[in-house]
Structure 1
């Protein structure tokens, strides 16, 4: 059974392999041992001491096969982006050019550099190994974070953001970046992607155009990918849209992938989740519901998908011994769950 838990030092090798396999455009997993270790240390420190409120905390999780011990995926929540280093996006907007005297009225699309998401909480670093992309594994990896958000909402912003990977080819070439590179930069997309991943973002403020970009001046190829996602990212976007996330015109400054957002309280799995007392069955659990469940522990957080029975009268959920053990709960404890 696949179980979600906080990342530990022993997961470094798997995390590095994920960084290699994720390819170009996956900025939050740079192929750099020092930066990966820094992220791992940041998460371990965040889980080690629960803060009183929202801060610059990083909560990294991994998906572990309870039968083999193999770690096959990862995901994370950044509690507040843009506080120590600027967090940039383009906002797709409009400008009107008109002349009543000449009878001309033109509306043009623009891209304006913003820091509008400063302080917002971000869902990030969702990666599942290709061999594990089946069944409910991707759904568990993505949606488990919503139970953590629901249980510890005071640690996060009321707005939740997710940046979707934009269009690029197998060699890391981004049509949107190719236009920016030609006119403002002298670096290819993989280099820019890597520098951003390791935190070297000073070049953005130095070289990025300061004024709105008129979209009609972009190349046909660059215009065609604004707001579109990478093929590998579409399943993740669909799951977020199921949860109530929507695109409000913000795109990544390098590959023009969409940034989607939702109010924390309006995320479907947050809103629909509930807490029930645990009863551990001494025999097979009667047929009931397939649910996403988590314990309500902070540092020892666990989440999984399992078939459970619910006794509405007693406000009780019936778990098998195996599920209770993996969730680190016993009779009388509380779990949070939402039906899949």
Structure 2
């Protein structure tokens, strides 16, 4: 095994930019814009330099590095507390039931209500794996490394955690949901709005969108059909989030209608089942393949390793895994089952 996760550095800018150009649009947290990506790396550096443990409005960008080549082949992000610089808007999907005595009929109308319910949550997002590396469980390593990072720095994150999944985008790069709802109030295409949002945030939508509930029956059939659905490429990510402990709570993205998954940090599988152990050396046997992490802030590392439990409660790792994590005998590390 040669891949490991670490916090991003300023010199990762070019690689992140190249990966951002491969996303295909609708990927707000990883825009193909050098200025925006550079700002993310600056925020990460600021967060990593802060030593006091308190919850602030911070961003941590993590990257997947091949230790043999030095190439960065994937990335993901953690926002410690959303909705601090501007409101964090979502649509909440609900139902209004009304009854007519004269008609002897009950009507149930599905509605979208603009809300800031999720403000203050920790958000995980920006996950992208280079198409050539989509094997050997690296997507799972990317995703779960975020939860172990949160566990290692628990005081810096909230109780609730969310993950926004990209909504359905057609072959032309447009969004049926945007065209059926928000696009009617703006003089721009989804691609233009998406690019503006990635660089400037979505406050402009909140400023101009109607604040009253939207009856979904007023939308086009195409727009209604994609509400709360992830992009086809994001279905595996949705299943992975559900396995981790996230649930679809009826919140959707105001841009493309994709689902926002919600969970409790301490209830996430990776966080609740992880355990701290002492490293006592390397072994030559195969061991059990596990997720292993160590270090704090800029020194954080996460990788797969083959772990052999010892009678005294310590663990031994394969030489490759121990090297990826930079372990010395007596060090403490965190383990989680795959």
TM-score grouping bracket, smaller chain normalisation: over 0.9
Instruction: Identify unmatched segments of 5+ residues in structure 2.
Output: none
Shift in Å at residue 181 of structure 1? 4.8
Residue matched to 1:34:
35
Look up the SS of the partner of 2:45 in the other structure: helix
Residue matched to 1:142:
143
- Whether the 8 Å contact between 1:273 and 1:338 is mirrored in structure 2 is yes
Shift in Å at residue 187 of structure 1? 1.0
Residue matched to 2:197:
196
- Whether the 8 Å contact between 1:293 and 1:338 is mirrored in structure 2 is yes
Separation in 2 of the partners of 1:182 and 1:13? 32
Give the structure-1-normalised TM-score. Answer: 0.96
Shift in Å at residue 203 of structure 1? 2.2
Residue 208 of structure 2 corresponds to residue 207 of structure 1: yes
Separation in 2 of the partners of 1:124 and 1:320? 31
Residue matched to 1:309:
308
Residue matched to 1:292:
291
Look up the SS of the partner of 1:21 in the other structure: coil
Separation in 2 of the partners of 1:205 and 1:323? 47
Look up the SS of the partner of 1:61 in the other structure: strand
Residue matched to 2:265:
264
Separation in 2 of the partners of 1:40 and 1:98? 54
Residue matched to 1:176:
177
Give the structure-2-normalised TM-score. Answer: 0.96
Separation in 2 of the partners of 1:204 and 1:42? 24
CA RMSD of aligned residues (A): 1.3
Shift in Å at residue 216 of structure 1? 1.1
Residue matched to 2:60:
59
Residue matched to 2:332:
334
Instruction: Identify unmatched segments of 5+ residues in structure 1.
Output: none
Range 50-59 or range 20-29, more displaced: 50-59
Count of equivalent residues: 337
Distance 1:225 1:198, change over 3 A: same
Residue matched to 2:322:
324
Look up the SS of the partner of 1:46 in the other structure: helix
Separation in 1 of the partners of 2:130 and 2:173? 19
- Whether the 8 Å contact between 2:89 and 2:206 is mirrored in structure 1 is no
1:62-77 to structure 2, matched below 5 A, reads: 62-77=63-78
Separation in 2 of the partners of 1:288 and 1:91? 46
1:225-240 to structure 2, matched below 5 A, reads: 225-240=226-241
- Whether the 8 Å contact between 1:293 and 1:336 is mirrored in structure 2 is yes
- Whether the 8 Å contact between 1:64 and 1:72 is mirrored in structure 2 is yes
Look up the SS of the partner of 2:297 in the other structure: coil
Separation in 1 of the partners of 2:183 and 2:191? 15
- Whether the 8 Å contact between 2:153 and 2:296 is mirrored in structure 1 is no
- Whether the 8 Å contact between 1:181 and 1:188 is mirrored in structure 2 is no
Question: Structure 1 stretches (4+) deviating beyond 6 angstroms?
Answer: none
Look up the SS of the partner of 1:249 in the other structure: strand
Look up the SS of the partner of 2:123 in the other structure: strand
How far does the alpha carbon of each residue in 1:177-208 deviate from its partner, in whole angstroms, 9 at most, with x for none? 11125532221001111111112434212321
Distance 1:125 1:44, change over 3 A: same
Distance 1:185 1:138, change over 3 A: same
Shift in Å at residue 86 of structure 1? 1.7
How far does the alpha carbon of each residue in 1:228-269 deviate from its partner, in whole angstroms, 9 at most, with x for none? 011221221111111111100000001100000110111011
Shift in Å at residue 298 of structure 1? 2.5
How far does the alpha carbon of each residue in 1:260-309 deviate from its partner, in whole angstroms, 9 at most, with x for none? 0110111011111101100112x51x232110000032320000012111
